[in-house]
A and B are shown apart, each in its own frame.
Chain A
């Protein structure tokens, strides 16, 4: 982001904090994609994402007047999105969509023709079988590319606990995917 863009963004933040809707809309337009991706990675594809994205922007609006470091605004937006999504995951009840999981059984020759949404839907059905902590660790480590230390810092958890969650999450996912591939019909979607 260039200095001009940063300066422009700082102006938007100040104006939006003072109640200027047009400025807030500009912030919204700039960060909608990033927030949606972040929320989506934690929650998985589906209509819930929009609800949580809405919550994120409402939260952002409430806190705009507390922003003091305009250079790191993007990182702050990401953290708010992540925290809101994690909070949402912890509140909701898991349900496993067996049909979506069957996507994993597509033969390799047809696998490449699936849409990105079909693939991530299958992944997140498997992810729904993880504990919330494991899911958080897997998303931050495998999808967002954070280091174990960064995750430990963010979650205020020891680095070894994070390593443990990542490892167990991997094992769980592998187990689920192997099970789906090995069975002709998935009998149950209960937690593995």
Chain B
């Protein structure tokens, strides 16, 4: 076999290759490719060599240091630091710190505490308060309608405010439960109220230039074909959010922890690594897109929204309507859901390496503290509107028999020389994993590997490899696995090998 992987596939695996993290099958596929691809051979050689050299470099590689001369310099610096005047200053400073530490409250309080409390309560009840955290509450609270300056009980003002900690717990639960991340592509088309001009998805805008501007409402509401316009990297105020925007896209993204991206025109492609203490939502017109899963796209034309989900799930919430959950592999428009076109996923991958994204997120999930992880299944999430904070949710510990735990136990069993036990545990994990979950692909390969190498059962291994190729035909390792599978089942009637 030669050149079964593309150069892009190999590049995506380069760093895993360097860290020796590739499965045997993927390693074999990469080896096969670079044996016949000079360009990838050069790139692979140099990158792996660069990092190995750097990680193993001796001290002399980094600098020509004369230890004695350097020590003299250090000594000289230390002597300078201990000049008498410095010592005196340090002693004085220590004395001041001691005084401060031992000071009672009278030293700090040069003011009338009762008057201060009155000012505090006055500010808390005033709509002119500077307390940003209470602004939303004040705007919606009946207390706000009272004459400014009237003192109202603090508790009444605070009662309805959702606890911030609850929001954080919710964010954590959702993020972890959903596989922690999502990549979103938003293609919005909004009709300007006065102009009757349909601002369509930029990819369709050119084609529609010759169309009659006085289209009927029914035609306007018909969803345009789904496509991804050319994107360019755009600035983001959040480290965890990467944005690509189409030409002319107009959006804003605040710097708050619980952030909302307001898109008013054009299209954006978003990659998001959810933070433990933050939430992120996208608001487009009257719609709010809340994240439950990993990869999705949305198009809005007037009141009609289109959502394509590549991994995980999202929830789209419109005012006065029930929210709708869209799962991986689904394309939602109007009230219908249909299978997602693979071409769109490939378009997204022009901008974002989904495999690397997925791998790092999975790794992040595995390395997270156990008591910060919910069970492996998606938890239902309450419909949210605008930026409202969902209700408190308890973060659950992983179930003892969750797929992840079962896989860890299988690994232990394998290390303990019990491949049969490992097979049992992995089979159980496979049953509990959604077929569309990338984890199921890994489990299938693990099962095949154990049957083949630990138990010497090629027929059983072939079954799992067959299932892998059928379910994940576009995986970078699929060609190599197909090759191996056909070799193992030579002489048997297998349509995959035709």
Counting contact residues on chain A (CB < 8 A from B), the size range is 35 or more
Q: Is the CB of A167 within 8 A of B360?
A: yes
In the complex, the chain B residue whose C-beta lies closest to that of A141 is B19
Residues of B within 8 A of A29 (CB): 67
Please pick, from B47, B63, B175, B239, the residue contacting A174 in the complex, using a CB distance under 8 A.
B47
Which of A54-62, A67-75, A92-100 lies at the interface?
A: A54-62
Q: Is B188 an interface residue (CB 8 A)?
A: no
Q: Which chain A residues lie closer than 8 Å to B175 at the CB level?
A: 160
Against B, the Cβ 8 Å flags (1 = close, 0 = not) of A106-126 are 001001100011011011100
Within 8 A of A (CB), among B261-276: 273-276
Q: Is the CB of B61 within 8 A of A161?
A: no
Q: Are B360 and A164 in contact, with the CB atoms below 8 A?
A: yes
Q: Which residues of A contact B2 (CB under 8 A)?
A: none
Residues 51 to 93 of chain B near chain A (Cβ within 8 Å): 51, 53-55, 57-59, 61-63, 65, 67, 70-71, 73-75, 77-78, 81
Please state if B67 and A148 are interface contacts (CB–CB under 8 Å): no
Taking A36-B59, A57-B74 as contacts, is the C-beta distance between A181 and B273 under 8 angstroms?
Answer: no
The interface size of chain B toward A, counting residues with CB under 8 Å, comes to 55
| B contact residues around A53 at 8 Å (CB) | 63, 65, 70
User: B367 interface residue, CB < 8 Å from A?
Assistant: yes
Q: Is B147 an interface residue (CB 8 A)?
A: no
B357 within 8 A of A: yes
* Docked CA distance A152–B18 (Å): 22
A124 surroundings in chain B (CB, below 8 A): 54
A149 within 8 A of B: yes
Whole-angstrom CA separation of A124 from B62 in the bound complex: 11
The answer, among A37, A45, A58, A163, for a CB contact under 8 Å with B74, is A58
In the complex, are the beta carbons of B59 and A58 less than 8 A apart?
no
Give which listed residue, A28, A39, A120, A178, contacts B50 with CB less than 8 A.
A120
Residue pair A122, B50 in contact (C-beta under 8 Å): yes
Chain A stretch 32-63: residues in CB contact (< 8 A) with chain B: 32-33, 36-37, 39-41, 43-47, 49-50, 53-54, 57-58, 61-62
* Contact (Cβ within 8 A) B41 A161: no
Q: Does B361 contact A (CB under 8 A)?
A: yes
- A21 to B128 CA separation, bound complex (whole angstroms): 62
Chain A residues closer than 8 Å to B11, beta-carbon distance: 174, 178
Asked if residues B273 and A163 are in contact (CB atoms below 8 Å), the reply is yes
Interface positions of B from 24 to 45, Cβ below 8 Å from A = 39, 41-43, 45
How far in angstroms is the closest Cβ of chain A from B263?
21
Alpha-carbon distance A170/B48, docked complex (angstroms) = 12
Q: How far is the CA of A178 from the CA of B54 in the complex (A)?
A: 19
Q: Please, how many angstroms separate the alpha-carbon atoms of A165 and B275 in the complex? A: 13
C-alpha spacing A21/B57, complex, angstroms? 30
A171 CB-CB contact with B under 8 Å? yes
Contact B42 A123 (CB under 8 A): no
Q: Given A167-B356, A174-B14, answer yes or no on A142-B19 (Cβ-Cβ < 8 Å).
A: yes
Q: Given contact pairs A170-B15, A181-B42, enumerate 16 new A-B contacts (beta carbons under 8 Å).
A: A21-B75, A28-B74, A36-B59, A37-B57, A45-B63, A46-B63, A119-B49, A119-B53, A119-B54, A142-B19, A143-B55, A149-B364, A158-B273, A158-B275, A158-B277, A167-B357
3 smallest CB-CB distances across A and B, nearest first, come from A40-B62, A49-B63, A149-B367
